[in-house]
Structure 1
Amino acid sequence: MSKKTIVIAGAGLSGLTLGTALALRGWDVQILERSAELREIGAGLYTWENGLRVLEAIGVYDEACKQVEFITQLDMIDENQELIHSTPFSNGNRFCIIPRKDVHSALVRAAQKAGVQLETSARAVCVDPSGSISLENGKTIKADLVIGADGVYSNVRNALNIEHTVEKMNNGALRAMIPRIETDKKGLAMEHWSGYRRIGISPSTAEYMYVYLTASSDDEEGLSDPMNKDAWLASFPHLESVINRITQTRLDFYFYYIYLKSWSKGRVALLGDAAHGMEPNLGQGAGVSITSALELAKQLDKFDIATALKSWETVMRPTVEQTQLWSRIYGAAAAQWPKELLGVRSEVIRKTLGSEQVDLMMSTAARHITGSVFEIGENVTAKQPKYTWIP
């Protein structure tokens, strides 16, 4: 019996995860990367229990996390330096920040070891639902399954003509890795709030801390490039040591939410940000994407392609939509709170996050375990729950 074939557009975290997982299951896998080299842009990667389980499942955990310091507590702190909320972590509920280049390079090596064919300077421009993908260089490749893991601006998604919405948010962020010093606390991650600006500070490795600074996109001083340190020191004078250690940042001026009525059409499916981009407020954009990638691999291992695509979306969509929803709520509290009510914001958030039900809803993604049991058969479409699609 010949191997099933898959072509994946995009050698980011989700594309590499899916490619490696399917290669380990006997598929013939080809990953196309539009850039001239395989690399990951960014600083640190918030990685919760769901993401760590994915890395374990495809055999990259040890390499990706070999230098990582695990977080034992995450604190939210307001402008008065008072605690808003604290989240503890444990062996069964892990959380860490992995340098993005470390996890990406580990995934590349795992993919190559599993036999995945990786091709660079291969930009996808068009797909056909029958199972073919066309490249900018004129080449067309046919496969049993085609995946668009090509990000927020996905060419694959646009070519499929699936009904969707791309919503640009008035929020952005600066991100950086900074050297650690002796006074930095071990195991403690913090997010400081001041007005509509936030600074997150987390241990990553023995050498580096991960820092992000978020602000409204119309906050020109907050989201300047190069970074305006004076502007941030004015909002967070008590974080002078951290701010002064920032030397190089990555700026994302806007974030996007992506909503699709369906994640697949024929023998083509969309994965990661191409299917369900979101603001990074819950630190689950990448985590949900790689979890979804492994979920798809497991469903394809059980069922024929058409049934697997339906069951995959049935299992994953509730987790994705819940995470998008709570990311929006969190972002609204941070950046859209009425100015005249900023004085009561901390107390309102403190009480809200103290609710066990809210905590469960916000941690839906972190608690997702791939390979969920779901009765799949001829009536799989009828069994799908009704989703709220935001047009």
Structure 2
Amino acid sequence: MSKALIVGGGIAGLATAIAFDRRGWEVEVLERAPELTAVGAGISLWSNALRALDELGVGERIRERAVEDAAAGIRDARGRWLSRTDTAALRARHGSPVVLHRADLLEILRAAVPESAVRTGISVTEARADGSVLHSAGVSRGDVVVGADGIHSVVRRAVCGVVEPRYSGYTAWRMVVTPTEPLGDLGESWGRGERFGFAALADGRVYCFAAANIPAGAPDGGLPELRRRFRDWHAPIPALLAAADADTVLRNDIYELPPLDTYVSGRLVLVGDAAHAMTPNLGQGACQALEDAVVLARVVATGGDPSAYDAERRPRTRMIADRSARIGTVAQLSNPLLAAVRDAVMRAMPASAQARALAPILDWTPGEPGAIQRPRTGGDVRSHTNT
């Protein structure tokens, strides 16, 4: 039996394990953390990701834990609309995106991987083009070795050499809050060098996220800093921050990868952030990782050369990463004059323009339908969808 050895047990790694397992391959997942956990943040999954999840056989379970993303558009700091989302047109053409807790997504993916396939507490030190991986517990080998080990990937070093992530210029905070007042319209609000957004979760809580232009590695003022920055913004932003728990606020400087020359070398293949870590402005980071998993298994498990995966995935992910970076640049404008011009342009733009811009991203389909199914013991995964 052919074997896929996967380095990394996050969304990209678990999805890749499911994809190969469903095609009859043996899978082994090496995860550095002592257990698979996801900290408290939400995640958006667009229709392209939901199709990938359907192909993995877990789409229905995801939808049961999720809620339709009801984002109404983008406002300014005072609450005036900059752009409205044509949700009816979006739903009719692509289907609605959904929002769920990242921990729920990880739990569903983990349940679909054979229990014995996941090895935690394993630190990988080197990957080789012949399919061998050196780690803290010895050596593992695979017919294909998948680097799903994130933006600081060890496997990527063997594929591309040393590639340094680059700082986007802004940092982000994430938190899950129990609201104390009605939310009103959901979505994002843009200021000058700052943003705040919020989305409902299925359990009644609210996923909040914020961004601000800050030098990389700057001290984190935590929740008091967030409350200071957004205290004069429109409702319900101050109330959401007032209800937040300081111990649950996560902050991460936002980094991205420069374009790679290839995602493959010998038996080594990169997926997810290891291949194309991107800014979160399009909500496509996890979505592209899920696409990667489906395409890689489809290409390799049917006897194709991994270079075909590279040819299919690298142009698409590069296009999406570039778009996401450009949106971030515009959203984080801090110059008052430039920000005013941006706001005026956005108010004049028809809602249909957004749908046209999203179409090349959301129209993705898995390609060859119908992954090979084989009987399995363990958790039942029902077939029927952010990232």
Whole-angstrom distance in 2 between the partners of 1:220 and 1:38: 27
Between 1:216-225 and 1:269-278, the stretch displaced more is 216-225
Q: Does 1:70 align with 2:68?
A: yes
Whole-angstrom distance in 2 between the partners of 1:367 and 1:19: 24
Q: Does 1:369 align with 2:347?
A: no
Q: Report if the CA contact (8 A) 2:70-2:199 is conserved.
A: no
Q: Does 1:245 align with 2:243?
A: yes
**Distance change in 2, residues 1:266/1:118 (3 Å):** same
2:28 aligns to what?
A: 30
Taking CA–CA contacts closer than 8 Å with sequence separation of 6 or more, which of the two structures ends up with the larger relative contact order? 2
**Distance change in 2, residues 1:281/1:340 (3 Å):** same
1:176 aligns to what?
A: 175
Q: Report if the CA contact (8 A) 2:298-2:368 is conserved.
A: no
Whole-angstrom distance in 1 between the partners of 2:149 and 2:216: 29
Q: Report if the CA contact (8 A) 1:31-1:116 is conserved.
A: no
Between 1:170-179 and 1:241-250, the stretch displaced more is 241-250
Whole-angstrom distance in 1 between the partners of 2:76 and 2:333: 16
**Distance change in 2, residues 1:116/1:150 (3 Å):** same
Displacement of 1:192 in angstroms is 0.8
1:327 aligns to what?
A: 324
**Distance change in 2, residues 1:294/1:27 (3 Å):** same
**Distance change in 2, residues 1:61/1:22 (3 Å):** same
**Distance change in 2, residues 1:168/1:367 (3 Å):** same
Between 1:22-31 and 1:57-66, the stretch displaced more is 57-66
Could you state the TM-score of these two structures normalised by the residue count of structure 2?
Answer: 0.86
Q: Does 1:360 align with 2:356?
A: yes
SS in 2 for 1:38: coil
Residue-by-residue CA offset, 1:70-93 (whole Å, 9 max, x unaligned): 124431001232211122142642
Displacement of 1:41 in angstroms is 3.1
Residue-by-residue CA offset, 1:348-391 (whole Å, 9 max, x unaligned): 234457563x6434453322112269xxxxxxxxxxxxxxxxxx
Q: Does 1:53 align with 2:55?
A: no
2:383 aligns to what?
A: none
**Distance change in 2, residues 1:143/1:222 (3 Å):** closer
Q: Report if the CA contact (8 A) 2:333-2:339 is conserved.
A: no
Displacement of 1:337 in angstroms is 5.1
Residue-by-residue CA offset, 1:127-147 (whole Å, 9 max, x unaligned): 11011111034x111211101
Q: Report if the CA contact (8 A) 1:257-1:277 is conserved.
A: yes
1:84 aligns to what?
A: 82
SS in 1 for 2:222: coil
Whole-angstrom distance in 2 between the partners of 1:227 and 1:253: 18
Q: Report if the CA contact (8 A) 2:167-2:255 is conserved.
A: yes
Whole-angstrom distance in 2 between the partners of 1:220 and 1:132: 35
Which ranges of structure 2 fall in alignment gaps of 5 or more residues? 370-387
1:382 aligns to what?
A: none
Q: Report if the CA contact (8 A) 1:35-1:122 is conserved.
A: yes
1:167 aligns to what?
A: 166
Whole-angstrom distance in 2 between the partners of 1:372 and 1:355: 31
User: Where does 1:1-391 land on structure 2 (aligned, <5 Å)?
Assistant: 3-87=1-85, 88=87, 89-90=90-91, 92-112=94-114, 117-137=117-137, 139-162=138-161, 164=163, 166-181=165-180, 183-185=182-184, 188-218=185-215, 224-238=221-235, 239-247=237-245, 248-304=248-304, 307=305, 309-336=306-333, 338-351=335-348, 354=351, 356=353, 359-371=355-367
Q: Report if the CA contact (8 A) 1:256-1:278 is conserved.
A: yes
Whole-angstrom distance in 1 between the partners of 2:79 and 2:220: 23
Whole-angstrom distance in 2 between the partners of 1:180 and 1:293: 36
SS in 1 for 2:103: helix
1:381 aligns to what?
A: none
Displacement of 1:323 in angstroms is 0.9
Whole-angstrom distance in 1 between the partners of 2:65 and 2:127: 40
Identity %: 23
2:376 aligns to what?
A: none
Which ranges of structure 1 fall in alignment gaps of 5 or more residues? 374-391
**Distance change in 2, residues 1:42/1:171 (3 Å):** farther
SS in 2 for 1:111: coil
SS in 1 for 2:64: coil
Whole-angstrom distance in 2 between the partners of 1:162 and 1:289: 21
Q: Report if the CA contact (8 A) 1:279-1:327 is conserved.
A: yes
Divergent runs of 4+, >6 A: 219-222
Q: Report if the CA contact (8 A) 2:78-2:234 is conserved.
A: no
Whole-angstrom distance in 2 between the partners of 1:281 and 1:106: 25
SS in 2 for 1:150: coil
Could you state the TM-score of these two structures normalised by the residue count of structure 1?
Answer: 0.85
2:374 aligns to what?
A: none
Whole-angstrom distance in 2 between the partners of 1:181 and 1:303: 55
**Distance change in 2, residues 1:149/1:258 (3 Å):** farther
Whole-angstrom distance in 2 between the partners of 1:42 and 1:294: 26
Between 1:188-197 and 1:71-80, the stretch displaced more is 71-80
